[in-house]
Amino acid sequence: MDLFEKFADEVIEHGSYKELDRVYIINKVKALVGDDDAEVEGNKPVVKQLVDLAVKREKIPDDITSREVLNDELYDLMTPIPSQVNDIFWNKMQESSKKATDWFYKLCVDNNYVKKEAIARNIVFDGTSSKGHGLEITINLSKPEKDPKAIAAAAHATGKKYPQCALCLENEGYIGGYGKNARSNLRIIRINVGGRPWGFQYSPYAYFNEHCIFLDEKHIPMVINQQTLINLVDIEKQFPKYFVGSNADLPIVGGSMLAHEHYQGGRHIFPMMKAKVKKAVKFNNYPDVEAGIVDWPMSDLRLSSDNSLALIDLGSQIIKFWDHYSDEKRHIKAFDGETRHHTVTPIMHRKGKKFILDLVLRDNNTSEQYPLGIFHPHEKLWHIKKENIGLIEVMGRAILPGRLKSELEEVKKYLLDQDNQMAESHKEWADELKQNNQITAANVENILHQGLVEVFEEVLQCAGVFKNNTDGDQGWQEFIDALTKEVGE
């Protein structure tokens, strides 16, 4: 079968076009890949064949960015236009949010905005640390390597940037290029959150099932306050099958996109959500709200209630109190002059009618001993994890750098006493694994995986402001005593 005809069939089946538009579609394709048709090659995706054809005919350069731009342009043709996508989505929302999100997620997979093939390359496994915490490990191999031409373009970019960031609504349908994300096939659902216009889309390189992003229509900085909790409740009312949470709003403890207000969500039950409350906390002024300290490596105070207004009110009081709380014995300091150091990572999910809010206390102070952050992975762990601890990792899913795939293969050889080129940074850790285990070819993979789980446990322990020890328990008690006195015992 002819390649252009095959592509036209798929466009007509999935997009906004009809049979009457066939000639128009084919001419659109010819403009992108050249006039002469070609034969379909086996089961290889049609769009990949068209991109290869464009490279062969020198219609585009053979580089990562050019291939990605053309790929997304072609998939855009087989994707309904934004207004049609929104109409279908909101019609399905009348039946249920699950039907609407199931449909929209499938659309984003089918049109290659969610890069399923790339995501499948990630190394993913789970385990239980020696402290008894279930944890999930991901070695991130899905995002493509940086295109050298894109790096150069970004370095020399001047003037006003459009779109302003990767989260802006203006990305919808944007062609992209060197140093700019290709987003021709992006579709964003328009929603109302907390009385303001927001957008809802899926993440192209998802870290978990149906990983989605809720983004403010305006390019405004992230902030954690009472409005944040109002927004999270509003999203949970609209999408009760999804969790939703926000990265912290300060450097070091925040995410990488602090310039644009947004949350992340999806259909995944994270280890932290399964963790039990280890100590109940009573707030007499809030009889409708159950509260407690969670058995978790980081410092998590959980609130639970079917009274969302009471939950928001108490949660807001806790955020305000933590904002100004200091405990110098434990290096917890709220302010340096006007510089704020405290915030929370707030995460919400539903259990039936109950809203469950986890408020994870964050502190971004630095010191001479810990220049990247006192409550940040410490240097002995940098061989595995040096990056910030964001929302996903707070909940117990490690996002580890792709370099580890090849580096861990060398560690494995070292553990088996084979010739290796193991990085010196892994030696102390590898020697500990050797000392503590009887290692064989049959069990080396499991030992290595368990070793990563233990390192991630330590990473999260580093980020906890009240440590899981006697001193940390005392710190929690002092904080709770002061908090309950402030908001009403």
β-strands 196-202, 189-193: how paired? antiparallel
Strand boundaries in 224-353, DSSP class E: 243-245, 262-266, 277-281, 290-294, 300-305, 335-336, 339-340, 342-351
The candidate with the shortest Cα–Cα distance to 198, out of 176, 226, 220, 173, is 220
* Every domain of the chain and the residues it spans: 3-60
Model pLDDT for residues 226-238, shown as the tens digit of each residue: 999 999 999 999 9
Mean pLDDT of 366-392: 95
* In contact, 251 and 387? CB cutoff 8 Å: no
pLDDT value of residue 179 = 85
Read off the tokens for 214.
């809720």
Name the average pLDDT for the chain: 95
Residue 146 pLDDT level (bands cut at 50, 70, 90): low
Neighbour tally for 117: CB within 10 Å: 10
Model pLDDT for residues 54-83, shown as the tens digit of each residue: 999 999 999 999 999 999 999 999 999 999
How far is residue 390 CA from its own chain's centroid? 8
Is 489's pLDDT higher than 70? no
Residue 149 pLDDT level (bands cut at 50, 70, 90): low
* In contact, 299 and 318? CB cutoff 8 Å: no
Helix (H, G, I), strand (E, B) or coil at 171: helix
